[in-house]
Amino acid sequence: MLNISAYKFINLADTPVLSENLHSQAKALALKGTVLLAEEGINLFLAGDAQAVRQFVLQLQADARFADLQPKESWSATQPFKKLLVKVKREIIRMNHPAIQPAQGRAPAVSAATVRRWLEAGQDDAGRPVVTLDTRNAFEVDEGTFAGAMDWRIGKFSDFPDAFRAHKTALQDKTVISFCTGGIRCEKAAILMREEGLEHVYQLDGGILKYFEETDGKHYQGSCFVFDERRAVGPDLAVAPLR
């Protein structure tokens, strides 16, 4: 089974109609998983026969708003989702911070290869010390994270703004790499931190899964929790046992 995940922050004014269309397309291709839509964009996790999954992606990219969507891919021996769900929500990832509008401009992103190089050197290209900041929930972090990553033990992503304000001073003179599973949470988190005055903040483009896909996984310890029946994947993107 081919598994894909993707998101894009973009203003969507037609979420009810789009929801019906995407549900029909995914159902016709026998795909399972979740597609979340909101006025701020799209977030999806789907799995199925490889040809069917890629056909769905092509259909989605035919909409000019999603033409540049590049899903992350991984494989599983069985279908990791029990059903197909397409939902319209207030946010595609809940932060309860309405001033954050990623569609108005992304926070600067750094590639997986750049992050690996910086971590190897212990500093960025300007010589500033580099720290990694895990924006995921505590139970996800417990399955694996970057060596030495900051972990504020948040219980849900909407806790992140308050946690950041409590730790902001310790980040002032450092280059902060915000990371998460696939990129969506660390993008919102990086925008919040920049808006609140932290200058050298970057998001890990594509999150941990893209880091696994494009590097050898060095500097990451353990596995990455995923929200499907695989539960966790290792740096080789194969199913890994839970800790």
Give the residue numbers marked as catalytic.
180
Of 145, 144, 139, nearest in space to 119 by CA: 145
CA distance 220 to 46: 25
Task: Measure Cα distances from 221 to 84, 182, 212 in Å.
Answer: 32, 17, 11
Instruction: Tell me how far apart the terminal alpha carbons of the chain are, to the nearest angstrom.
Output: 24
Location of structure tokens 């980040």:
171
Backbone angles phi, psi at 225, to 5 degrees: -65, 135
Degrees (nearest 5) of the Cα angle 199, 200, 203? 120
Q: CA-CA distance, 147 to 118, in Å (whole number)?
A: 13
Cβ burial, residue 126 (10 Å; 0-12/13-18/19+): exposed
